[in-house]
Structure 1
Amino acid sequence: MKKLSLLASFVSISGLISSPAIAARFSSIYGFGDSLTDTGNINQIVVQATGGTQTFPPSPPYFMGRFSNGPVWIELLAQKLDVPLVNFAFGGATTGFENTLDTTLPGLPLPGGLQQQINNFALNNLIADPNALYAIWAGGNDYLPTNSMVFTPFDNPTQTLNNIEMAINSLVKIGAKNIMVFNLPNLGDIPLNNDSIDGVCPDNNQFDGDCLNDLTLAHNHGLSTLLSGFSSEVNLIRFDINTLVSNNIQNPSPLFTNVTDVCFNLSTFEVCDNPDEFLFWDDRHPTTVGHQLIADSAFQSLAVPESKTIVGLITLGLIGIVKVIKSSRINHE
């Protein structure tokens, strides 16, 4: 009976081995970045400046200041983690101090880029919460074409990577321990560049789709190298948005029936009938279903192995079973 009891205990414990890893626990999540992460910060500035007569992006068809038709990835991730969200991200942000919406929203006190966001956070948090999650997704506006009068897009990733490194170092310096950093999706593959993909990067056209994909590759390679140089004392969580988006474009999941076109046409202001089946909302932003996919994948990237305590219990269970079997054999003999 003792042997059977131990065996039953082992079966019960070992069942935990095959259970999925659980998400790490955080006290809160802080967001830094551009329109892909903005949950209404730019819109709040526009609403205040116009006395509520205007919104940006326009709602409808955009959702409550998001650059999408519904909630964006970071708020969906915060819901999955069941933690509060404090978001410093602003649409138009570069990785430096500039905001590329200066001509779109002239005369408004637009916040700067990633560096200003981090500085604003540090001014209000002399010591960062070591149990919080800090998410950085920025860089696309550094390379994509813009009408900005204050910023000229880069044709190589050197300055952008330096800016991201400074942002991470600033967070680490004040005590941040868990930092999630996104690479970039292929900028040449977004609908903005649907007509410029032919497999060849032409001379003197850095905004050609193929040239932007080459630049994305250089950025992501440099970012990987940069992140490898940080101390192991910092929990740097790399999120490979590039592979996630590319896989869904090349091999569409059942979620999407359209992974190349826009649901909302900025030129005609027409919205598709089935936005939940589109990956892209407009020419550079995902639908809220796309954002949900990102949030789910980010949640999985935060998964941690089962507790060492469980592994220890399994080991002890095995030892106990071996001892009982040996004892049984001796008594039998």
Structure 2
Amino acid sequence: MASNFSQFYVFGDSLSDTGNIFTATEGLENPETAFPPNPPYSEGRFSNGPIWVNFVGDEIGLTPTQFIPTPANIPTEGINFAIGGSSSGLNNAFFPDLPFLPGVSGQVNLFTRTLEANNQKADPNALYTVWGGANDYLFAGVTDPNQTVNNLSNAVGALTQAGAKNIAVFNLPDLGQTPFAIANGISPELTQLTLGHNAALKQALNSLSANTDVNIIPVDINSAFKQVVANPGEFGFTQNPAIPCVVGDFNNISSVCDNPDEFIFFDAVHPSSKSHRLVADATLSAIKHQTVPEPSTVLSTFAIGAMGSVGVLKRKSKKLSSPK
């Protein structure tokens, strides 16, 4: 897929993390203590292989640099700020007292504050993606979707105010259909929260789209997920959608399947790499008809110092426990 996007920025949680929390838990030096554990997880990803960020990046010819550790060189193709365990707000759902592991809103705030400190604007020719909220409902006890959607819409608004023009925003798949929800008997509650979240998010994005200078790109993951769960065989999945490949949590994995891409879910809440390919397809479908301006000269002076706030991360993160 040809693209005129100049850079690729990612804000999110474990569904979009390509190695930040893994590095934060010293995965590169001590893989046996890192999250997610490698194996069975593909290094740095909450899946068995490439995730949607990798697939989309391949298609548009851009590979965003990981946020953690601080890059040695100024990123030229964008940055992936997504961190496993992130809430939709300022902090991490599992480690709320660790500011160097920001939530989705916190990630956006870090990005925009860096631009302001260096008297810069966000690259108007870049692709920005925002996907969050699942941890709020699954693990942080949030019961009001308006709270989560407000965090996400504020994050999108902050990006637009900083100068971003092309922003893809993902809704949530039905969390009530995850193996985690089914096994714990909380499917109805999580399904209702998902419906409320997606309805409120759609309304918020419609309001943000009133700004004709900004290209808000809704990515409807929920509709695609419904189709897959209803007819898994049509998409090449042979296993029961309620059963994950990996059984157990990060600290106590009891079994791992031999054929992960025959499963919709790799573990109780995270998709298999094959499912991530479908997420990527939905993303690319959503953006392919959007008009993107010709790339301007990328501001090469974007401050790596912006990420300096996590320069001490590896020293502080030795005792982190398992995020989702």
Could you tell me which residue of structure 2 aligns to residue 246 of structure 1?
226
The correspondence of residues 211-222 of structure 1 with structure 2, limited to 5 A, is 211-222=189-200
1:54: how far off? 2.5
**Contact 1:23–1:299, Cα closer than 8 Å, also in 2:** no
The correspondence of residues 53-132 of structure 1 with structure 2, limited to 5 A, is 54-85=33-64, 86-102=79-95, 110-125=100-115, 126-132=120-126
1:300: how far off? 1.6
1:172: how far off? 0.4
SS of match in other structure, 2:26: helix
1:112: how far off? 1.9
- Which digits, 9 at most, give the CA deviation of each residue in 1:44-93, with x for residues without a partner? 11117976663211100011111111111112101111123220000000
Q: 1:305 to 1:115 in 2, by over 3 A?
A: closer
1:165: how far off? 1.3
Could you tell me which residue of structure 1 aligns to residue 216 of structure 2?
236
Larger relative contact order (CA 8 Å, sep ≥ 6)? 2
Question: Which AA in structure 2 matches 1:243?
Answer: S
Q: How many residues align?
A: 267
Could you tell me which residue of structure 2 aligns to residue 31 of structure 1?
10
SS of match in other structure, 1:158: helix
Could you tell me which residue of structure 1 aligns to residue 320 of structure 2?
none
**Rg (Cα) greater in structure:** 1
In structure 2, distance between residues paired with 1:138 and 1:302 = 19
Structure 1 unmatched runs, 5+? 1-21, 146-151, 198-207, 308-333
- Which digits, 9 at most, give the CA deviation of each residue in 1:259-285, with x for residues without a partner? 221001125431112111111000000
Q: TM (normalized to structure 1)?
A: 0.75
SS of match in other structure, 2:217: strand
Structure 2 unmatched runs, 5+? 65-78, 293-324
Question: Which AA in structure 1 matches 2:4?
Answer: R
Question: Which AA in structure 1 matches 2:107?
Answer: Q
In structure 2, distance between residues paired with 1:141 and 1:130 = 30
In structure 2, distance between residues paired with 1:121 and 1:306 = 24
Q: 1:58 to 1:196 in 2, by over 3 A?
A: closer
Q: 1:257 to 1:244 in 2, by over 3 A?
A: same
State yes or no: 1:255 paired with 2:201: no
Question: Which AA in structure 2 matches 1:39?
Answer: T
Could you tell me which residue of structure 1 aligns to residue 167 of structure 2?
179
Question: Which AA in structure 2 matches 1:121?
Answer: F
Could you tell me which residue of structure 1 aligns to residue 269 of structure 2?
284
In structure 2, distance between residues paired with 1:306 and 1:97 = 32
In structure 2, distance between residues paired with 1:175 and 1:161 = 21
**Contact 2:93–2:136, Cα closer than 8 Å, also in 1:** no
In structure 1, distance between residues paired with 2:89 and 2:195 = 20
**Contact 1:275–1:281, Cα closer than 8 Å, also in 2:** yes
